[in-house]
Chain A
Amino acid sequence: MTALSVTDLCRNFGGITALAGVSLDIEIGERRVLLGPNGAGKTTLFHAISGNVMPSSGRISLFGRDITRLRPDRRARLGLARTFQITNLFLRMTVLDSVLLAVGGENGRPLQLLWPMSSYRHRYEEAYRLLEQWGLARTARQVVRNLSYGEQRQLELVLALAGAPKLLLLDEPTAGLSPAETGRVVEMVQQLPRDMTLLMIEHDMDVAFELADRIAVMHQGRLIAEGDEAAIRANPQVTEIYLGAE
C-alpha cells in the first residue's frame, strides 16, 4: 500500500493551469522531495493534498482511502499534517498554548468547555515533552510573534508533529533561514521517525539531496522527472530548466 497516491490531478485558476495532470505515488516511510522552479505548481499540489484547494479533476488517496473531496480537518484526522510556506502560526498566543492546541487533538469528541485547560495534565506533559525534544523549551512562555523567524519555522514543524502524523507535508521548511538555522531544521527532519512518510518542497539543492530518498521535479504544472539523486542530476531536462544556471 502506498502512503499517498495522486492520480492525474488538475487544477486551473482562471486561465492559468497550475496542475496539468500530476500523478505521484509515495511509499510508506519514503522521504520525497519536490523540486521545481517558482510557479511550477508545487504549493498548489500541496494545497490539493491537504485539502486547502479543491482539484478540478483527478484523485488523491491517503493510505488507500479516497480523500479527494474531504475537508482539511478530516484529512488531518486521518494522519496527514503539514507546514505552510508562509509561516502560519497563532501569533498572539504563547508557544506553549499553541502546542497545547496541537497536542489536544480534536477527534470529533464533545467540546471540552467546562474544565480549564490546566486540568488536562497529559496535554501539558505532551506539550513540554515536544518542546523539550525539539529544542524550544526555553521559548515556552514567549508570545509567538516575538520569536525569531528561525524559531517560528521550528514551531511550524513542532505543531505539525504534535499529532504524530503518518504523512507529513513540509512546504519549504528552510526558506529564508540562515545557514545555521537551516542546519537545525535539517537535523530536526533527520530525527523524525523512519516510518513517518515525508513529502517536502525544498529549493535548496543541498538540503534536498541530503534529506530525500527520491526526488520528483515539477515544471509548468507537470511532473517531468522522478528518481534518486543520481538520476535527477543526470536528467538533461532537469539540468536545463532547474540547474541550467549552474
Chain B
Amino acid sequence: MTARLGSIIAGLVVLGVLIALPQMIRQYYVGLVTKMMIFALFAMSLDLLLGYAGLASLGHAAFFGTAAYAIALLTLRAGINSWMAFPAGLAASMVMGALIATLALRARGSYFLMITFALAQVVWSVGFGWRSFTNGDDGMPGVPRPNFGWSLDDTNAFFYFVLVIVGLATLLLVAIVKSPFGYALRGIRESESRMQALGYDVWRYQFAAFVLAASFAGLAGALYAYHNHFVGPEYLHVVQSAEALIMVILGGAGTLLGPAIGAALIIFLEDYVSSLTQHWLLVLGIIYVLVTLFAPRGLVGLIVDFRQRRAAP
C-alpha cells in the first residue's frame, strides 16, 4: 500500500511540475518537453510489446508514421477536419497493427524482429517512394493542429493539449499492465508453452497487445505530426523504430516509467548533441552499447539493484 501511495504522490508531483513548467522555462524548451512527452508515449507503447509481451519489434515506426500520414493526407489532400482526421489516423494505425501482427506473429524472437523490420520498411517505401501521393522525401508540410474551440497553435496551449492526451494514455497503459490481460502478457513472455498448458490462447493475447501498442504508437505519431506541422518519411524509418527500442532499453523494459525516462533522456541528448555535432546517430550508438554492457535492465534496473544492495546488510 505504501509503495502504491508513493507512486501516486510521485505521479502527482511530476504532473504538478509539468503544469507549472510553461511559466518557468523558455518557449523553446516548452516545445522540447512537448516532444519528450510525445516520445515517452511512443516508447511506452513499444514497451507493451517488448517489456510485457516479450516481442521485440523493429517496426514500431510504421504505426507512429501511419497515423501521422493518415492525418496529413486526410486534412491536406481530402480537406477533412481534424475532428474526423484524428480518430481516423488512430484507426489507420490500428488496422496497420492488425495487418502486420497477422503476418509477423507467425515468427518468434529474432525472426519476429526481422519480419516487423521488413514490413515496416515496406510501409516506409510507400511514404518515401509514392511521390504523387505522399510527396516522397519532401514530406507534407502545413499539417494544421486540431482546433477544439481554442487554438492550439500557441506553444503553451499545445503543450497542455499533449500533456492531457499523454496523461490519459499513460493512465490507460497503467490500467492495461495491471489488468489480468497485463498479467497474461507477462506470463506469455516468461513461458508460452506453460500459458498454453493453462488454457490461454497465446496468439489472441499477442495479437491484442500488438494492436494496442500500434494504436498508442499511432496516437504519439499523430501528436508529433501536429507538433511539427509536418510529416515526412523519417517518421516511418527504421531509425525511428530503433530509437524507440533504445529509449525502452535505456530506461528499462518491463516498466512503464523506464521507457518514459529513456525517451525524455534521449530527446534531451539528441537536442543537446545536435547543437554540438552532426553525428547524433554515432552518439546514440555508443549510448546503446554502454547500456547493454553495463545496465542491461536499463536505468530503472540500475536503481532497483542499487536500492537492494543498500538494503542488504
B205 touches A71 (CB 8 A): no
Question: Using a CB-CB cutoff of 8 Å, which residues 180-194 of chain B contact chain A?
Answer: 180-184, 186-187, 190-191, 193-194
A111 touches B205 (CB 8 A): yes
Closest to A108 in B: B201
B194 touches A105 (CB 8 A): no
Find chain B residues with CB under 8 A from A117 CB. Answer: 178-180, 182-183
Query: What separation, in Å, do the CA atoms of A100 and B204 have in the docked complex?
Result: 19
Find chain A residues with CB under 8 A from B197 CB. Answer: 50, 72-73, 76, 81-82, 84, 88, 160
Query: What separation, in Å, do the CA atoms of A82 and B195 have in the docked complex?
Result: 11
Among candidates B182, B191, B194, residue contacting A113 with C-beta atoms closer than 8 Å:
B182
A169 to chain B minimum Cβ distance, whole angstroms, is 9
Sorting the interface of chain A by its residue count into under 10, 10 to 19, 20 to 34 or 35 or more gives 35 or more
B273 lies within 8 A of chain A by Cβ: no
Find chain A residues with CB under 8 A from B195 CB. Answer: 73, 101
B194 touches A159 (CB 8 A): yes
Query: What separation, in Å, do the CA atoms of A91 and B194 have in the docked complex?
Result: 11
Sorting the interface of chain B by its residue count into under 10, 10 to 19, 20 to 34 or 35 or more gives 20 to 34
B273 to chain A minimum Cβ distance, whole angstroms, is 34
A92 lies within 8 A of chain B by Cβ: yes
B186 touches A89 (CB 8 A): no
A116 touches B198 (CB 8 A): no
B200 lies within 8 A of chain A by Cβ: yes
A120 touches B180 (CB 8 A): yes
A105 touches B199 (CB 8 A): yes
A181 lies within 8 A of chain B by Cβ: no
Instruction: Give a binary string over A88-114; 1 marks a CB under 8 Å from any B CB, 0 the rest.
Output: 111111000110111011111001111
B187 touches A73 (CB 8 A): no
Closest to A111 in B: B181
- Indicate whether A71 sits within 8 Å of B184 (C-beta atoms), given known contacts A90-B191, A113-B179, A117-B179: no
Find chain B residues with CB under 8 A from A72 CB. Answer: 193, 196-197
B193 touches A101 (CB 8 A): no
B190 touches A114 (CB 8 A): no
A76 touches B196 (CB 8 A): yes
B180 touches A104 (CB 8 A): yes
Find chain B residues with CB under 8 A from A84 CB. Answer: 193-194, 197
Query: What separation, in Å, do the CA atoms of A90 and B54 have in the docked complex?
Result: 13
A112 touches B190 (CB 8 A): no
Among candidates A89, A108, A112, residue contacting B180 with C-beta atoms closer than 8 Å:
A112
A159 touches B191 (CB 8 A): no
A77 lies within 8 A of chain B by Cβ: yes
**B residues in contact (CB < 8 Å) with A:** 175-176, 178-184, 186-187, 190-191, 193-202, 204-205, 208
**A residues in contact (CB < 8 Å) with B:** 50-52, 71-73, 76-77, 81-82, 84, 88-93, 97-98, 100-102, 104-108, 111-118, 120, 123, 159-160, 162-163
| A-B pairs, 4 with minimum CB distance | A113-B181, A76-B199, A90-B190, A112-B180
Beyond the given A105-B198, A114-B176, could you list 5 further A-B residue pairs with CB under 8 A, ordered by the A residue number? A51-B196, A76-B197, A111-B205, A115-B179, A160-B197
23 residue pairs A–B, Cβ–Cβ below 8 Å: A72-B196, A73-B198, A73-B201, A76-B196, A76-B197, A81-B197, A89-B190, A93-B190, A100-B183, A101-B200, A104-B183, A107-B199, A108-B201, A111-B204, A111-B208, A113-B175, A113-B176, A113-B181, A113-B182, A117-B179, A117-B182, A118-B178, A162-B198
